Amino acid sequence: MEPPVGPSSESFDYDLLVIGGGSGGLAVAKEAAGLRRKVLILDLAAPSPRGIKRELGGSSLNTDRIRKFLQQSSLLGKAIQDSEKYGWRFKEQGSHSWIELADAVKEQLQTRSGELKRELKRCGVFYLNARGEIVAPHTVEATDLNGQKRRLTAETVVVATGDSPQYLDVPGEQEFCITSEDLLSLTHPPGRTLVVGGSAEGLECAGFLIGHSMPVTVMLPTHLLLGFDQKMAQKIENHMMVSGVDFLYQCSLLKVEQSEGCSGDAGSAGAGAVSRKRLRVTYATKDGQTKQEEFDTVLLAVGKKACTSDIGLERVGVQSKQDTGKILVNERDQTSVDHIYAVGSVQHGRPSATGLSMHAGTLLARRLYREDNILCDYSNVPTVVLTPLEYAACGLSEEKANLTFGEDNVEVYHSYYWPLEWELPARNKNSCYVKAVCHISDNERVVGLHVMGPNAADILQGFVAAMKCGLTKEQLDATVGLHPGSAQVLTSLTQTQRMSEALMIRGNC
């Protein structure tokens, strides 16, 4: 729908103009249009350094879908192995096609992008495939694919440009390295892969690749899963090590270059296997040594930076963090300029999650145009790491709870569990794990819940609502567990970490 230019109010072309097609921007636009406001979205995300097109929906919405598809692909491979114990027999040995997976995921993302555009049209939101840049107060310049420019005015501007993977500024990274968003652009299986960084996206990619029988090494400059519960991170690390992932601890990437050696694609052995140049990686160890290794693929997962560097924030005085590009906002999601707001992963100091961005965008539109005063609650935001053994969490990590309330005022209830569907194939009994972090003096209120196991996010979702209502350990114990589901383990936690540690000490004596 070509947006008309004309007065929406006394002096502006639009009531609301959204720069960026992120999940939060889509939500605020649709809600505002439903409240009979004239709304325009400008979205023309630059392609990745490898030329990968970014679809409408922003970094979070599309990346989340890719993460889930890739996790499911690796889980299906494991399910095929398990199926023999359930009586299934196959005439031929299963094989995996990298190209078919990549094409199917990319086609689905394009289809979803088309659906989003049609949904915007139905809601009455105008959409332009153009880059937006703030050039003056209430004024945004739109530049389309052909380079044509037009100036538009709006009473309110919302920034929802999302984020993109960071690079390390080391020689050879732009030429030879990929990021998670480029993974499916490869026309061949990644083969032996080095994942640089211990972020959630790095571990997810490592888990996906090891699940497809590709050798994986994870290089950790610092700790694994910074910002997450570190005891849970250690359990994920242990599970990945058992699965075959190698770890290089406290190492830093120095250089990536093309090697003289060649290798065939892992996963496409035999006739027709493609031979290609390997990559020589130079890195520094924690004791100052310089080492080299060869890999087929080097994937950077070292964090993300907000896509705000070229949208004119500084021109009108919007304050942002120089190192990350993230925008400073108040409790109403308002920037330092009163008519400009920001939602989603471009916000500084706020958790980043697709569901949160959508919720925040909807509430913002209602505050602007329905005179609501409900603020988005940025506490107790659930998150999930889609490693093969899934990890979901809500609330405080054990470390943060100890720092906030004092270690003596925190009780941690925990338990290993064995999903029923794992019993026949005899998978490891001590892999799946849950813990509830409780604030003792506040009636043992549950301030953190952590689940590691199959479908952890789905298990956690209902408990998130309970935590919003002030869930206590007593209420958790009074909840009837649904047998034979795995979630019932959270309703019968009797062992505390203090008890477990005391038993370990006595056992060692």
**Where in 343-409 does DSSP place strands (E)?**
383-385, 391-395
Beta-carbon-side half-sphere exposure of residue 359 (alpha carbons within 13 Å): 14
Largest CA distance in the chain: 81
**Where in 160-211 does DSSP place strands (E)?**
163-165, 178-179, 193-196
Q: Which of 155, 157, 128, 144 is nearest to 7 (CA)?
A: 155
Question: Is 23:361 a contact under the CB 8 Å cutoff?
Answer: yes
Question: Is 56:141 a contact under the CB 8 Å cutoff?
Answer: no
| Residues labelled as active-site residues | 483
Question: Is 117:129 a contact under the CB 8 Å cutoff?
Answer: no
The tokens of 447 are what? 């301030």
The tokens of 464 are what? 């998130």
User: To which H or E segment does residue 126 belong?
Assistant: strand 126-128
Q: Strand, coil or helix: what is 457?
A: helix
Q: What gap in Å lies between CA 394 and CA 294, rounded to an integer?
A: 39
Question: Is 395:447 a contact under the CB 8 Å cutoff?
Answer: yes
Single-letter residue type at 188: H
Q: Strand, coil or helix: what is 376?
A: coil
